[in-house]
Amino acid sequence: MRQTFDEATDPTFGPKHAPLIRRAMADQALDGFLIPHEDEHQNEYLPAANDRLAWATGFTGSAGAAVILKDRAAIFVDGRYTLQVRDQVDAGLFEIRDLVEGGVPAYLQEAAKPGWTIGYDARLHSPESLERLRTAAAKAGAELKPVAENPLDAAWGQARPAQPRAPVVPHPIQYAGEDSASKRARVGASLADRDADAAVLTAPASIAWLFNIRGGDVIRSPLPLGQAVLNADGTARLFLDPAKVTPDLPAWLGNQVTLESPDALPAALAELKGRRVLIDPAQSSAWYFEALKEAGAEIRKDADPCALPRACKNPIEIEGARRAHARDGAALSRFLHWAATEAQASLPDEVEIVSRLESFREATGALKDLSFDTIAGAASNGAIVHYRPTTRLNKRTERGSLLLVDSGAQYLDGTTDVTRTIAMGEPSREMAERFTLVLKGHLALARVRFPTGTTGSALDALARTPLWAAGLDFDHGTGHGVGSYLGVHEGPQRISKLPNTVALRPGMIVSNEPGYYKEGAYGIRIENLQFVTEPADVPGGERPMMAFETLTLAPMDRRLIAVDMLSAEERTQMDAYHARVLAVVGPQVAADVAAWLEGACAPL
Amino acid sequence: MRQTFDEATDPTFGPKHAPLIRRAMADQALDGFLIPHEDEHQNEYLPAANDRLAWATGFTGSAGAAVILKDRAAIFVDGRYTLQVRDQVDAGLFEIRDLVEGGVPAYLQEAAKPGWTIGYDARLHSPESLERLRTAAAKAGAELKPVAENPLDAAWGQARPAQPRAPVVPHPIQYAGEDSASKRARVGASLADRDADAAVLTAPASIAWLFNIRGGDVIRSPLPLGQAVLNADGTARLFLDPAKVTPDLPAWLGNQVTLESPDALPAALAELKGRRVLIDPAQSSAWYFEALKEAGAEIRKDADPCALPRACKNPIEIEGARRAHARDGAALSRFLHWAATEAQASLPDEVEIVSRLESFREATGALKDLSFDTIAGAASNGAIVHYRPTTRLNKRTERGSLLLVDSGAQYLDGTTDVTRTIAMGEPSREMAERFTLVLKGHLALARVRFPTGTTGSALDALARTPLWAAGLDFDHGTGHGVGSYLGVHEGPQRISKLPNTVALRPGMIVSNEPGYYKEGAYGIRIENLQFVTEPADVPGGERPMMAFETLTLAPMDRRLIAVDMLSAEERTQMDAYHARVLAVVGPQVAADVAAWLEGACAPL
């Protein structure tokens, strides 16, 4: 098993570790210290060695922050995590506050005292967030000060896990579709448009994409932690821990790329004196900005120049994604067959469900990793959007309720992410009605055509209007970008209520995952991945339109579809999707599964 | 007649006036001068005395700019005006360039010479745009310099129309619904949330709303040009030309408002020394920022604090809007009756159409003004989105084509804005199909329910997806805010592809006006005004939703509706709308019109 069900922390973490941190703060004459969730690489999923917030507080959510002052402390989480934080953190030690409303700045302004010095690790904060924190501290008469050594790291000491040193390997051209020299030439040439002649790259996904390499430093993503300096002429310096460099790597990188130790990075930045250097403040911490400023570089704050080309998959990557989804769809269909038959009688618990699904994926022989820990939410656990099953929280499925399974796989040829909601026993009419509202939104977003320049924000409402009409909604985004054997959450595109100014472009992969959650009862989510295509013009059409092609191939539970609520168009669309699932998955599965699949994919 | 059909400019304006401007520039030792479209009040419709761009170049569009250098000159327009600018401006004198792509900054960088001094009038530029222009000029080695006297105004001299001095009158409480003291207390109290203790107001619509006064300085809008300083305690200083002050005004304003001459404004700004002063960089020119900076005020750049409360109409204003639309709907229905009967035989020209419509509105006895010059676009003229009929461009309607009529009225109780597309003779199947696609989008945006926090940008696509599916689209926004006996285009809300972060709130009025334009052939637009309501919850709904209620009441041309393309839901919605039109308008019109209306509003 790849997935584990242990809890990495418990509420004693705060009481055990905060005193150690305070002692290390005192050694540096600090009256407080800032602990963001982010690590040195702005990763979403953190290596254990960098999960400082979890070690200091016990909180393991994907966003948050803490402040430890000498006389009090607070933890900051957003609306998704208000229940989880109470479960994981000692609220007697850490005051629980809202990350968004007021957040850390308001706390500093209120809790810091005149003359205090509050430390921060410049490698962990974006320059913008630091500016807000500095202003807030100043209002209280306190000062922010960068530390030379992180006092939390000092307190963690020997107990801290080692930095990950997973081997970095070539990502072959039959998967990447474009060689690194071509990518470097293309991205290098684009720097001129942004008035730059070099770029500092720190996002692991950009390093992986640009050099066609993959690593394993971060769980669930084949990311190599590292940095690079790319020049306008396509030459580059790549900084990777020598312990991670595999024998084939130098030849693979070629003679336009020098491979160096991260120890050489500060000197490399110093050499950028007088050059116009692009760096992304959303991806790179204040430390880089300080280093470049000191070096005398002309800083150009702009989006990571790899982000957009990385998001627009080339034909080889799309072909790979189709293969990966056909394979993954077969594994998932085997699982859905099990869930629709044996599991209906045995009513398994979440741990068993996760294990079964993993074993079907493992059996493909191509699984490199899960793309995230599988979410299996039985009954009321399905209504907790950021739920992960653990031994402690594990719940059995219940007859007459729903099971929500959100999972994905990393294959060399593509990354998958799919959610299916399964009826256990006989679903109620309410469950079917609400599933069907979610489905109507999902189908609308799958079939829409849209012109050049359309953003994901403009399309978000299409997935919600059927729910809105019924007085319902869901509190998460509708779609995120997905990498090609890279991160399962990847920008810059996004389908969301939040404003996003990045237009959708051919080759971009996005998820389409509306949901509905009835607290304490059940959760519904339907998620397929789809990519942006340029379809043939319709007769009489005057403008080229873009559209989506669905990648994910697995049946939806027809027992949850209230057919009377579907329009003729929606029914045709659903039947066509199921016919495609049957055609692609059917030939890959054994006779008993194929027989079941035929029924599962029959016209509604 | 209120509307005229003359053209205010012609292409000789540039050759006649540019030399005069260059001479005035030379008198001030300027090598160039910047001429934005905006005036001192950031008006959309300009008083003739402030339409500097038109006088200098001949161009009368609603957005644009010109630069006159000593050796060359250019005019800048956006995509809407590329045809019009060629028709109105001498292209030998003014190079025609894109306002958006590159715009004025790129031109300055390219055309200015080292050592040159380029003048600008600080009252006409926003601080942000000036910064971009300054940077661009600096790259060419040139310098921007504010002028004490505008050289264009000097050149215009005696020929320049007088500044408008329309009387400023009270706007009675039975229309305003909230007295000025209450508004000032409310807006004043809101300043604390934005860390301010005073606000400088320069938007004429805000002045009109806050003090419950109306004027007539700007054609088609009852706007008084003026400025105000509002204090947190609700007291205020109002600066209005004494020639405009009517006898009742001082008593109406009460003793918390001091009425002063605009000459006293600079001294009043100087007195803001040390205070935290809110001012909106989108509404107020660089001149105000300079004056406040010199005064030693702490500037708080933020949105005009009247904009949001002004946009959310109170129940009395909504009641007024309903009355105004019932009255206007009757006038428009009389016109539509004429268009559907007599005009089908006589095939009138655009000038006659505009005149007829105006006379029906005039006959209500309540018309204060048109809310903009009526757009009547016959056949191919209907495809020109910013078309206004003139004697020169005037076109007869054609059998087998369409007539697009976009018009509105200013009444004391409300401002209207409505577009109807009318078949002249028998429409083709293509015309009906495209009209029906536009209608489907219009209906979707009229019936949507949506939760708190939803912006107009999130809803825009609903009005477009039927067109998109057919490979079609339209190149303008879907909806704009509308004032209450104020401007017909009023923010801050907007339904548009462009990002807008202002959430829709109860009481906001917006237009719903998708369209389709076939160049050289015909134009289609369907526009109703609608306002945001809080409808009763649907059974089973969990969250309060907002919705729209349609204000505009006039039949749509059923000969253009391809009933076979409508869903059952759309047909029901359309029939319900027509039934409402008949119920409200029917009793107001004479027997022959009522008889026709009954047929026009019968179920499809």
Q: What is the pLDDT of residues A46-55, one digit of tens each?
A: 889 999 999 9
Query: Kind and range of the H or E element at A327?
Result: helix A315-340
pLDDT score recorded for residue A66? 97
Measured in angstroms, the CA of B107 and the nearest CA of chain A are apart by: 17
Mean pLDDT, chain B, rounded, equals 96
pLDDT of B353 above 90: yes
Mean pLDDT, chain A, rounded, equals 96
Residue with tokens 């969250």: B543
Measured in angstroms, the CA of B41 and the nearest CA of chain A are apart by: 30
Q: Do the Cβ atoms of B462 and A465 come within 8 Å? A: yes
Q: How confident is the model at residue B554 (pLDDT cuts 50, 70, 90)?
A: very high
Residues of A with Cβ-Cβ distance to B468 under 8 angstroms = 448-451, 545
Residue with tokens 């998708």: B514
Q: How confident is the model at residue B101 (pLDDT cuts 50, 70, 90)?
A: confident
Residues of A with Cβ-Cβ distance to B455 under 8 angstroms = 499
pLDDT score recorded for residue B18? 96
What are phi and psi for residue B330, nearest 5 degrees? Answer: -70, -45
What are phi and psi for residue A264, nearest 5 degrees? Answer: -85, -5
Q: Measured between alpha carbons, how far is residue B336 from residues A469, B342, B524, B593, B594 in Å?
A: 34, 10, 16, 9, 12
**C-alpha R_g of chain B:** 25
pLDDT of B44 above 80: no
Q: Is A491 left (phi over 0), alpha (psi -120 to 50) or beta?
A: beta
pLDDT score recorded for residue A383? 94
Q: Quick one: tokens of A439?
A: 């489905």
pLDDT score recorded for residue B114? 96
Query: Cis omega (within 30 of 0) on the bond before A492?
Result: yes
Q: What DSSP state is assigned to residue B330?
A: H
pLDDT of A535 above 90: no
Cβ atoms of A65 and A37 closer than 8 Å = yes
> From the list B450, B473, B540, which residue is nearest A468 (CB)?
B450
Q: What digits encode the pLDDT tens for the residues B301-351?
A: 999 999 999 999 999 999 999 999 999 999 999 999 999 999 999 999 999
Q: What digits encode the pLDDT tens for the residues A398-432?
A: 999 999 999 999 999 999 999 999 999 999 999 99
Query: What is residue B201's three-state secondary structure?
Result: strand
pLDDT score recorded for residue B477? 93
pLDDT score recorded for residue B43? 78
Residues of B with Cβ-Cβ distance to A567 under 8 angstroms = 567
Q: Do the Cβ atoms of A430 and B541 come within 8 Å? A: no
> From the list A462, A497, A537, which residue is nearest B471 (CB)?
A537
Looking at chain B, which residue has its C-alpha nearest residue A462? B462
Q: What DSSP state is assigned to residue B140?
A: T
CA dihedral A159→A163→A166→A167, nearest 10 degrees, is -140
> From the list A430, A460, A543, which residue is nearest B471 (CB)?
A543
pLDDT score recorded for residue A83? 85
Q: How confident is the model at residue A79 (pLDDT cuts 50, 70, 90)?
A: confident
pLDDT score recorded for residue B289? 96
Per DSSP, the residues of B497-541 read: SS---PBP-TTBEEEE--EEEETTTEEEE-BEEEEEE-PPPPTT-
pLDDT score recorded for residue B218? 86
> From the list B454, B461, B471, which residue is nearest A458 (CB)?
B461
Q: What is the pTM of this model?
A: 0.93
Query: What is residue B364's three-state secondary structure?
Result: coil
Looking at chain B, which residue has its C-alpha nearest residue A444? B465
Measured in angstroms, the CA of A457 and the nearest CA of chain B are apart by: 7
Per DSSP, the residues of A541-583 read: --S-EEEEEE-------GGG--GGGS-HHHHHHHHHHHHHHHH
> From the list B451, B471, B567, which residue is nearest A538 (CB)?
B471
Per DSSP, the residues of A481-507 read: B--SSS-SS--S-EESSS---PBP-TT
> From the list A448, A471, A543, which residue is nearest B538 (CB)?
A471
CA–CA distance, A483 with A471 (Å, rounded to integer): 34
> From the list B454, B499, B540, which residue is nearest A501 (CB)?
B499
Instruction: Please tell me which residue, A84 or B329, carries the higher pLDDT value.
Output: B329
CA–CA distance, A280 with A289 (Å, rounded to integer): 10
> From the list A457, A470, A543, which residue is nearest B457 (CB)?
A457
Measured in angstroms, the CA of B433 and the nearest CA of chain A are apart by: 11
Mutation for testing the A interface, residue in B545, B548, B573 having most A CBs under 10 Å: B545
Looking at chain A, which residue has its C-alpha nearest residue B447? A469
How does strand A213-214 pair with strand A169-170?
antiparallel
CA–CA distance, B309 with B257 (Å, rounded to integer): 20
Instruction: Please tell me which residue, B384 or A80, carries the higher pLDDT value.
Output: B384
Mutation for testing the B interface, residue in A452, A472, A572 having most B CBs under 10 Å: A472
Measured in angstroms, the CA of A454 and the nearest CA of chain B are apart by: 8
Measured in angstroms, the CA of A277 and the nearest CA of chain B are apart by: 19
Q: What DSSP state is assigned to residue B379?
A: G
Q: How confident is the model at residue B42 (pLDDT cuts 50, 70, 90)?
A: confident
Residues of A with Cβ-Cβ distance to B448 under 8 angstroms = 461, 465, 468-469
Q: Measured between alpha carbons, how far is residue B528 from residues B373, B418, B442, B481 in Å?
A: 17, 5, 9, 12
Q: Measured between alpha carbons, how far is residue B95 from residues B76, B103, B114, B386, B409 in Å?
A: 8, 12, 21, 22, 38
Lowest-pLDDT range of A553-557, B101-105, B176-180, B455-459 = B101-105
Q: Do the Cβ atoms of B461 and A459 come within 8 Å? A: yes
State mean pLDDT over A73-88: 91
Find how far residue A380's CA is from the centre of its chain.
Answer: 24
Measured in angstroms, the CA of A472 and the nearest CA of chain B are apart by: 6
Query: Cis omega (within 30 of 0) on the bond before B492?
Result: yes
Measured in angstroms, the CA of B460 and the nearest CA of chain A are apart by: 7
Residues of A with Cβ-Cβ distance to B541 under 8 angstroms = 470-472
State mean pLDDT over B471-492: 95
CA–CA distance, B43 with B553 (Å, rounded to integer): 29
pLDDT score recorded for residue A261? 96
pLDDT score recorded for residue B358? 98
CA dihedral B503→B505→B509→B515, nearest 10 degrees, is 40
Residues of A with Cβ-Cβ distance to B540 under 8 angstroms = 430, 470-471
CA–CA distance, B495 with A79 (Å, rounded to integer): 28
Give the Cα-Cα-Cα angle B333, B334, B336 (nearest 5 degrees).
Answer: 60
Query: Kind and range of the H or E element at B547?
Result: strand B545-550
Non-local CB neighbours of B599 within 8 Å, separated by 6+ positions? none
Query: What is residue B336's three-state secondary structure?
Result: helix
Instruction: Give residue A447's identity as a one-letter amino acid code.
Output: R
Looking at chain B, which residue has its C-alpha nearest residue A534? B471
Q: Do the Cβ atoms of B538 and A470 come within 8 Å? A: yes
pLDDT of A44 above 80: no
Measured in angstroms, the CA of A145 and the nearest CA of chain B are apart by: 27
What are phi and psi for residue B506, nearest 5 degrees? Answer: -50, 135
Residues of B with Cβ-Cβ distance to A449 under 8 angstroms = 465, 468-469, 471
Q: Do the Cβ atoms of B497 and A454 come within 8 Å? A: yes
Question: A518, A522, A516, A523: which is closest to A468 by C-alpha?
Answer: A516
Lowest-pLDDT range of A493-502, B233-242, B478-487 = A493-502
Looking at chain B, which residue has its C-alpha nearest residue A453? B497
Residue with tokens 């509905």: A516
Q: Do the Cβ atoms of A471 and B542 come within 8 Å? A: yes
Cβ neighbours of A111 (radius 10 Å)? 19
- Give the percent of chain A with pLDDT over 70: 100
Residues of A with Cβ-Cβ distance to B453 under 8 angstroms = 497
pLDDT score recorded for residue A599? 98
Q: How confident is the model at residue B110 (pLDDT cuts 50, 70, 90)?
A: very high
CA–CA distance, B330 with A577 (Å, rounded to integer): 50
Find how far residue B483's CA is from the centre of its chain.
Answer: 10
Residues of chain A with a CB closer than 8 angstroms to some CB in chain B: 430, 448-451, 453-455, 457-462, 465, 468-473, 497, 499, 501, 537-538, 540-545, 567
Measured in angstroms, the CA of A165 and the nearest CA of chain B are apart by: 43
Residues of B with Cβ-Cβ distance to A458 under 8 angstroms = 457-458, 460-461, 497
Q: What's the half-sphere exposure (Cβ side, CA atoms, 13 Å) at A536?
A: 2
- Give the percent of chain B with pLDDT over 70: 100
Mutation for testing the B interface, residue in A545, A566, A573 having most B CBs under 10 Å: A545
Residues of B with Cβ-Cβ distance to A541 under 8 angstroms = 470-472
Cβ atoms of B155 and B21 closer than 8 Å = yes
> From the list B459, B460, B468, which residue is nearest A449 (CB)?
B468
Residues of B with Cβ-Cβ distance to A472 under 8 angstroms = 541-543
Q: What count of residues does chain B have?
A: 604
Q: What's the half-sphere exposure (Cβ side, CA atoms, 13 Å) at A458?
A: 24
Find how far residue A10's CA is from the centre of its chain.
Answer: 24
Per DSSP, the residues of A406-473 read: EE-EEETTEE--EEEEEEESSPPHHHHHHHHHHHHHHHHHHH--EETT-BHHHHGGGGTHHHHHTT--
> From the list B461, B468, B501, which residue is nearest A545 (CB)?
B468
Measured in angstroms, the CA of A306 and the nearest CA of chain B are apart by: 24
pLDDT of B424 above 90: yes
Query: How many pairs of residues across A and B have Cβ atoms under 8 Å apart?
Result: 94
pLDDT score recorded for residue B112? 96
pLDDT of B355 above 80: yes
Measured in angstroms, the CA of A352 and the nearest CA of chain B are apart by: 33
Q: How confident is the model at residue A491 (pLDDT cuts 50, 70, 90)?
A: confident
Cβ neighbours of B505 (radius 10 Å)? 17
Q: Quick one: tokens of A437?
A: 């509202």
Measured in angstroms, the CA of A108 and the nearest CA of chain B are apart by: 18
What are phi and psi for residue A162, nearest 5 degrees? Answer: -70, 155
> From the list B451, B461, B473, which residue is nearest A543 (CB)?
B473
